[in-house]
Amino acid sequence: MTREIADEEVVTQYGNSQTDPVFRTRPDPESPTPRAMSATVGRLTPAAIAKLVRGYERPAGDLARYARVGDLRQAGFEVRHTPSNRNPGHVSIEWPADWDDTVAERFDRCYGESNG
Amino acid sequence: MADTIQIERWHRPWAPASDARLVETLNYYDRPLIGIIEQHGVKHLFRCVGGHIEPHHVWIYTCVTGSEADALVRTNDPEKLEALIGEFFAQGPVAVAAADDADGVWGSTIIDAFTVEELRTGYDRIIREFHQYLKSKQKEAAASHPLSTSASS
């Protein structure tokens, strides 16, 4: 069941210090959502977001970072609740056109420091 | 014997052949991570088992019946869904595919395993071959870069 996501809510993005980039800032153009990035609603620990995405915790390098939904919307992104069976809190952060470097930087600036 | 999925190189792992299509997504994070594919009227469960947010990833596939696929779609409890997925993969055979963001699926193999050791051997083989492919790809990229000679010597 989808619900409205309020501006005051926080979303968590999952990253890993051993990957390049540590946090993705643009969608895979070949994915079914070439204009949207994933996040999960709530302030989750790296272990909790890892469990939702991978199904298990990765021992080293897992990171999480957080953005306020109102900040993402103010920057021009649409934030929608798009749950899946495995991740009921999944949200899509969509840009209305193709993502270029400017959009990627704009997206990146909405997030704070990472928590590992 | 159950139908095994026919995987073609250079397709995305969630639609790994020209005649395969994604019909259900059970987990998604920047790309489909668990879902159901249909090919030639047969349903196949797939999941990413490594590299979920990384540029290189490993995927497994197994055939499921229509009623098994329905059960997966109806299960909203993450723990119960994990248990069901584990049960279906344990029935085998399992296809394993290695892929990267740039090229899609690089290679795959079928593991008709009856023991954990057989499963591990088949899995290790494709991972080892995939690493060799990635190394040769990096070498090619370095060779085509104008600064590669001084950087690598």
B9–A contact, CB cutoff 8 A: no
Q: Are A26 and A77 in contact (CB under 8 A)?
A: no
A90–B contact, CB cutoff 8 A: yes
State residue A58's pLDDT score. 66
State residue A92's pLDDT score. 98
Please give the ipTM for the structure prediction: 0.95
Report how far apart, in Å, the C-alpha atoms of B128 and of each of A19, A43, B95 are: 19, 37, 16
Cβ atoms within 10 Å, residue A29: 10
Query: Nearest CA to CA, how far is B55 from chain A (Å)?
Result: 8
CA nearest to A14 within chain B = B53
State residue B14's pLDDT score. 97
A32–B contact, CB cutoff 8 A: yes
State residue B116's pLDDT score. 67
Suggest the residue from A44, A84, A99 to mutate for an interface test with chain B (most B CBs closer than 10 A). A84
Report how far apart, in Å, the C-alpha atoms of A78 and of each of A24, A25, A40 are: 18, 15, 14
- CA–CA separation, A51 and A70 (whole Å): 26
- CA–CA separation, B88 and A18 (whole Å): 32
**Average pLDDT over chain A, rounded to whole?**
93
Strand A62-68's sheet: what is its strand order?
Answer: A62-68, A10-16, A36-41, A90-94, A78-81
Separation of CA A18 from chain center? 18
Can you tell me the mean pLDDT for A68-90? 97
State residue A34's pLDDT score. 95
The answer, yes or no, to whether residue A109 has pLDDT greater than 50, is yes
- CA–CA separation, B120 and B111 (whole Å): 9
State residue A3's pLDDT score. 96
A14–B contact, CB cutoff 8 A: yes
Q: Assign B137 to helix, strand or coil.
A: helix
Nearest by CB to A84, from B14, B22, B27: name it.
Answer: B27
The residues near B1 (Cβ < 8 Å, ≥ 6 apart) are B93
Kindly state the percentage of chain B with pLDDT values over 90: 55
Tokens of A23: 């946090």
Suggest the residue from B53, B59, B60 to mutate for an interface test with chain A (most A CBs closer than 10 A). B53
Can you tell me the mean pLDDT for A18-30? 91
Chain B positions in Cβ-Cβ contact with residue A27 (cut-off 8 Å)? 30
Q: Are A97 and A114 in contact (CB under 8 A)?
A: no
Nearest by CB to A87, from B27, B54, B82: name it.
Answer: B27
**Average pLDDT over chain B, rounded to whole?**
87
The whole model's pTM is what?
Answer: 0.89
DSSP assignment letter at A115: B
Taking only the tens place, the pLDDT of each residue in B72-128 is: 999 999 889 999 999 999 888 899 999 999 899 999 988 876 666 777 777 778 888
- CA–CA separation, B138 and B60 (whole Å): 25
- CA–CA separation, A19 and A58 (whole Å): 13
Nearest to B29 by CA among B13, B49, B11, B53: B53
Residue with tokens 């499963």: B119
When pLDDT is cut at 50, 70 and 90, the band that residue B152 belongs to is very low
Residue B96 forms beta bridges with which residues?
A: B60, B109
